[in-house]
Structure 1
Amino acid sequence: MNTLDIIVFFAYIIGIALFGGSFAKKNKTSASYTLGNQDIPSWVVTMSIFATFVSSISYLALPGNAFQSNWNALVFSLSLPIATLIAVKYFVPLYRKINSPSAYTFMEQRFGSWARIYVSVCYLLTQLMRIGTILYLLALTLNAITGWDIATIIIFTGIIVAVYSMLGGISAVLWTDAIQGIILIVGALVCIAFMFYSMPEGPMQVFTIANENDKFSLGSFDLNLSEPTFWVVLVYGVFINLQNFGIDQNYVQRYMVLKSDKEAQKSALIGGLIYLPISALFLFIGTSLFAYYNSADTLPEALQGLSKADRVFPHFIVNALPMGITGLLIASIFAAGMSTISTSFNSSSTVFLTDYYNKYFKQNISDKKRMQVLYIASAVISILGIGIAIAMINVKSALDAWWKLSSIFSGGMLGLFLLGIFTKKKNTTSAIIGMIAGILVILWLTLSEQIFGSDSIGASFHTYLTIVFGTMAIFLVGFLVSSFLKPKN
């Protein structure tokens, strides 16, 4: 990057940090740290929900996916209306009624303390992996663009986000998320406008080349469960998005920030639906990049090969865009990642205070002590996340295995919540048996190929279906067992 791009990039980073830190004067109590002061506009919460959903992975992977193949990934977004409507109808009113900063209080009310511990531990572990992964990918991208040291970028980014999210609490997280969401949308629009302007035969050439290469296809409509067909991706999207908008603390905490149930439901619905056109925008960037490079009949050697697809967008940003715009686009990539990380810092510390410290350590403590616990928990989580990101530089394969394991746990979380909401009997035994059955199904589908070979039944299902079958197993087994067991008072 040239000097102007570096100035634009660092001006953004410093500006966000200062703006987030400015909320420190409003962040004086544990309630304001976790749920704000009920003075945050609903549009800010809506944009924050959207920005939390969009990570730097989406910002880079979706254009790369469309460049390499087609718009099959859009089917995942088409499931959002289904998932968000279910979340708005059943989950949001439930959390508002319970009125707890933690999403997992419901689990204890429904099945006992073991369920609350299980889901909250699963959440914390997956958040640590999420923080580490996004920090690592951000550093990897900036390293490829600037040549700066990966470990230094990870530490710098982690500290900046941790400081402003700790100082300003949930208010800082929500407002900076909203700004970062707007920046990443503007950055994507600027990029598309530049490519339209640069096409030799005008903007319509993008659509001509794309149609000739079947780039707008949504994938096969066959009923083949071993391939990422339209139907497989759609069903997978419903379950994974229901997990996001229905049980993830990152989202549930935002539902609790607003004054009324109606505002919370509206923000959840719109915040989820915004991603549908924006994901199409990201995919269109990839399609436009394909047309852009094909119109010149020269694809840079650095981008040739299927494994290089994710590098196409960063390569274009650095080598094709004008000065200043490059800095803005790199800032927008960081915006996508920073919004997700700041959310994880705040929500994870909230879970630790609510689900563990207040319940198992000291219940009757001063609010000043609660604030200290929140600060310490945020600091510890940020350090662990930074450590995981640095570890990914050298031992990525081991962490990939752990990422799969955390996915197994998260599948169990969704099944338990669905069992708790859609069944009436309060029977702990049925929930435990259902959870064990679901985890066994998920383990079987995840490890079948490694243990039994590629011809095994488990290996014949696409990996997208793992969470689908696992969640259904927990719900169905738990429901059937509860039907035969006498409920406890």
Structure 2
Amino acid sequence: MSLADGLVLGGYLLGILLLGVYFSGRTHSTDDYFVGGRNYQGWVIGLSLVGTSISSVTFLAYPADAYKTAWLRYLPNLMLPLAIYFAARYFLPVFRRGNTVTAYEFLEARFGPSVRVYGAATFIIAQLVRVSTILYLISLLLFEISGLDPVWCIVLAGIFVAVYTVAGGIEAVIWTDVIQTLVLLLGGIACLWVIVDLLPGGLGQVLSTATEHGKLGFSEWQNGELEPVSWDISLLNKTGTMMLVLGLVNWLTEYSSNQNTVQRYCAAKSESEARRGMWVCALSSLPIWAFYMFLGTALYVFYLQFPVAEAAEMLDGSRKAEQILPFFILNELPPGLIGLVLAAALAAAMSSLDSSINAISAVSVVDIYRRHMNTDAAERHYLMVARAIAVGVSCLMIGGAIAFYFADTKTLQDALTILVALLGGGMLSLYLFGFFSRRGNARHAWLGIGVTMLFTGWVILARNGWFFSADDMPFDLYYTAIIGNLLMFVVLWLASRRTPLRTQS
């Protein structure tokens, strides 16, 4: 990197670190550490939610997916506004009652303490997988920049995020997420501007070539070429309709049972500000996701015009497609812009990592430690435990990212979608049943959980070649979450039919 790049990147990192130090002096209780005094405006909550949901998956995996295939995996995102409308109307008022801190307090009120622990444990496991994936992705870029061993890139990035997150709590998380969202957008715009400037036909060439090659459609890579998906209702193939259904299930799960999201509900100044934040998130996230998919399409056109061996290898699968944007950044961007785009790449990762570290700490303390292990300690003790757990989570995140580095995976967007589906475990149906039915108790909930876990375990074993090949599965693995939630709801409904109605839902 040039001196200008180093100054831009160094200034960004120093600013983020100083924010963490500043907010550490304002944190005196777990309420400060987890919900920041419950006094945030809607626009701040909204941009923070954007930063949490838009990670290095957006910065690296979305362009990689569009570069290698087309826009099929953007389809699930189109269901976000519908999910937010539903969540704002039915989920939000429930979570705003009282002084709720976590999403899983509702499960105890509805089904009992054991189900609350299950929900908390499920979240912790899923988030550890997520943060490990994100940290691994950003290590690819850091490796390209510095030439350091990728394992060292993982360790150094993980430690940096841990320092300001552990110190500053949710206030550091929210405000750094706002800054990181803006930096992320600026970095992406810089990349697209350079591509358009270098191509002889500019933006028109991107649009015409991409249209001619079918890169802007909802297509799947089959038999060496892009095939438009059908719009049938089928569990066997990735159809457009089923991808929309999958998106609705995933986003409703996100806004009903994901602590990263519910924690923002609880940190808002009022219910109306929380609702405003949800819509700010939706109206910002959709164009940003589309922009980064389009950036991948533009990279395809660029390397069609200016072919190089490395880009061709990323297209045919000889190299990981997630390296395409880092490769472009380091080989095509002028001095100064490289520093800005690298800052954007780090922002993409850190805005998700810091949120998840703090959320896992909140769930561990509020739902498990304070509720079941040490119920009557001083507030200072719980704050100390919260920070200690955040340190432990950071260590596990670094270890998980190293494991991802040595794993043999396909494109990370595919792998992440499947992992989320496998770890979902029917949580959406558990919450929906709790919200809208006055029947059922802990015994019925555990029966539904047991059936869903057996199903999920069977899918995992089959995916790894047990019983029969994953290619012989009676449904596409993308739809594991849909089937799991259907099983959970059916079991809960059947099991609870003979129980009396609860007086209060």
Q: Same fold (TM over 0.5)?
A: yes
8 Å contact from structure 1 (residues 415, 435) kept in 2: no
Counterpart mapping for 1:173-322 below 5 A: 173-219=173-219, 220-223=229-232, 224-296=234-306, 298-304=307-313, 305-307=315-317, 308=319, 309-322=321-334
Q: Determine the C-alpha separation between the residues in 1 that align with 2:369 and 2:135.
A: 28
1:38 matched residue in structure 2: 38
8 Å contact from structure 2 (residues 60, 137) kept in 1: no
Deviations 1:359-406 (A, max 9, x none): 122222222112111111111211222222234344668xx9999777
Q: Determine the C-alpha separation between the residues in 2 that align with 1:485 and 1:87.
A: 28
Deviations 1:327-361 (A, max 9, x none): 21111111011011101111111111111221122
Deviation at 1:456, TM superposition (A): 8.2
2:466 is aligned with what amino acid?
I
Deviations 1:425-458 (A, max 9, x none): 142222222222222333344444623434987x
Deviation at 1:129, TM superposition (A): 2.0
Deviation at 1:98, TM superposition (A): 4.5
Counterpart mapping for 1:462-477 below 5 A: 462-477=476-491
Q: Determine the C-alpha separation between the residues in 1 that align with 2:33 and 2:434.
A: 29
Deviates more, 1:141-150 or 1:464-473: 141-150
Deviates more, 1:175-184 or 1:319-328: 319-328
SS at match of 1:167: helix
2:224 matched residue in structure 1: none
Note if 1:436 corresponds to 2:450. yes
Counterpart mapping for 1:157-168 below 5 A: 157-168=157-168
Q: 1:407 to 1:237 in 2, by over 3 A?
A: closer
8 Å contact from structure 2 (residues 41, 273) kept in 1: no
Q: 1:248 to 1:486 in 2, by over 3 A?
A: same
Aligned-residue identity in percent: 34
Deviates more, 1:459-468 or 1:12-21: 12-21
1:26 is aligned with what amino acid?
R
* Structure 2: 5+ residue stretches without partners: 220-228
Q: Determine the C-alpha separation between the residues in 2 that align with 1:73 and 1:114.
A: 36
Q: 1:28 to 1:456 in 2, by over 3 A?
A: closer
Note if 1:76 corresponds to 2:91. no
8 Å contact from structure 2 (residues 127, 356) kept in 1: yes
8 Å contact from structure 1 (residues 9, 331) kept in 2: yes
8 Å contact from structure 1 (residues 435, 478) kept in 2: no
Q: Determine the C-alpha separation between the residues in 1 that align with 2:278 and 2:416.
A: 30
Q: 1:455 to 1:205 in 2, by over 3 A?
A: closer
SS at match of 1:453: coil
SS at match of 2:439: coil
Deviation at 1:193, TM superposition (A): 1.7
Q: Determine the C-alpha separation between the residues in 2 that align with 1:259 and 1:359.
A: 26
2:292 is aligned with what amino acid?
F
8 Å contact from structure 1 (residues 40, 171) kept in 2: no
Deviation at 1:286, TM superposition (A): 1.0
2:430 matched residue in structure 1: 416
Q: Determine the C-alpha separation between the residues in 2 that align with 1:403 and 1:213.
A: 26
1:328 matched residue in structure 2: 340
1:163 is aligned with what amino acid?
V
Deviation at 1:271, TM superposition (A): 0.9
RMSD: 2.4
Q: 1:121 to 1:402 in 2, by over 3 A?
A: farther
Aligned residues: 486
2:85 matched residue in structure 1: 85
Deviation at 1:263, TM superposition (A): 0.8
1:260 is aligned with what amino acid?
S
Q: Determine the C-alpha separation between the residues in 2 that align with 1:474 and 1:295.
A: 51
Q: Determine the C-alpha separation between the residues in 2 that align with 1:129 and 1:422.
A: 31
Q: 1:83 to 1:367 in 2, by over 3 A?
A: same
Q: Determine the C-alpha separation between the residues in 2 that align with 1:88 and 1:188.
A: 30
8 Å contact from structure 2 (residues 199, 305) kept in 1: yes
8 Å contact from structure 2 (residues 36, 171) kept in 1: yes
Counterpart mapping for 1:82-121 below 5 A: 82-121=82-121
TM-score by length of 2: 0.90
Deviates more, 1:37-46 or 1:273-282: 37-46
Q: Determine the C-alpha separation between the residues in 2 that align with 1:83 and 1:328.
A: 34
Q: Determine the C-alpha separation between the residues in 2 that align with 1:131 and 1:122.
A: 14
TM-score by length of 1: 0.93
Deviates more, 1:361-370 or 1:61-70: 361-370
1:467 is aligned with what amino acid?
A
Q: Determine the C-alpha separation between the residues in 2 that align with 1:94 and 1:274.
A: 25
Note if 1:350 corresponds to 2:385. no
8 Å contact from structure 1 (residues 423, 479) kept in 2: no
Q: 1:319 to 1:405 in 2, by over 3 A?
A: closer
Q: Among residues 377, 381, 402, which one is paired with 2:389 in the alignment?
A: 377
8 Å contact from structure 1 (residues 103, 248) kept in 2: yes
